[in-house]
Amino acid sequence: MRSVAPEGGLFDQRIREQWAGQLGRRLDLLIAGCAHDEPLALDRIETRLTGVDEDLPVIRSVVEERADLATWSLGDLRSAPVPPRSVDVIQLSFLLERIHHAELVFDRLLQALRPGGLVLLRMRDRRSAYGLCDRLTPGWLRRALWRHLVADGTPGPLPAVYEPLTSYDGIHAFCLSRGLLITDDETRTSGPALGRLGRTAVTLADRLSRGRYPSSHDEITMVIRKPQNHFARLI
């Protein structure tokens, strides 16, 4: 099976801990945003992967080629066919920043997570210089530049919506209000290969905003745990 994170990385470590805590029982994984493919293997861990994403032509063409998904569904993520308490781990990769109704979708996905389950979250930060440039760049320009900025086979360009949830403060407030525990919290730079023009634009956005939209990072990476006790709340 495929990994949900690079081997030896943060997500890989947390997956292995989750599997060990369940005494080696099969892990059921929900891949939300399954157009984003991270293909390294998790050795000796039995997993079953289910994928959900929006129904866009560029996404469908990628998902139809994924042989690792046991089942998948494309469409309105607010009504995704995910039974309650049916998965142990949700991989949420670069999805929330490109969809509308992001909070409703996240709430819907959380219903599928078993108590004690994990969310492995990666998203672009709307409060970063990269996020600002991404959402302000006209669609025609994004389409014209896309193939020159990313590796071959990368699906896109996908929508750049960036609702308030998709920021460091936004995701922290969401987790607090839902009683979710953030166990790991990192920011990093991992955006597409911007080239000289892209790096210049990001640096300029940082300077013109006087640091309100920093160029120091573009990605938020988190591991989020759903408490065993439904009524648990963070203090």
- 34 burial class (0-12, 13-18, 19+ CB within 10 angstroms)? buried
In one letter, which amino acid is 193?
A: A
pLDDT for 235 beyond 60: no
Which tens digit of pLDDT belongs to each residue from 144-193?
Answer: 877 777 767 777 888 999 999 999 999 999 999 999 999 999 998 877 65
Tell me the pLDDT band of 40, cut-offs 50, 70 and 90: very low
pLDDT for 25 beyond 50: yes
Which tens digit of pLDDT belongs to each residue from 50-76?
Answer: 999 999 998 998 888 888 888 999 999
Domain layout of the chain by residue ranges: 10-125+164-191+217-225
pLDDT for 30 beyond 80: yes
Alpha helix segments (H runs only) across the chain? 10-21, 57-63, 102-111, 129-136, 139-149, 168-178, 195-208
Calculate mean pLDDT across residues 206-234.
Answer: 85
The tokens of 190 are what? 């991992």
Tell me the three state secondary structure of residue 99: coil
CA distance 25 to 71: 20
Compare 225 and 190 and report the one with higher pLDDT. Answer: 225
**Domain 10-125+164-191+217-225: top CATH class:** alpha beta
CA distance 196 to 200: 6
pLDDT for 83 beyond 70: yes
Cα atoms found within 13 Å of the Cα of residue 56, Cβ hemisphere only: 16
Cβ neighbours of residue 107 closer than 8 Å, sequence gap 6 or more: 178
Cα dihedral 125, 17, 35, 39, rounded to 10, equals 120
Kindly give the pairing relationship between strand 219-225 and strand 113-124: antiparallel
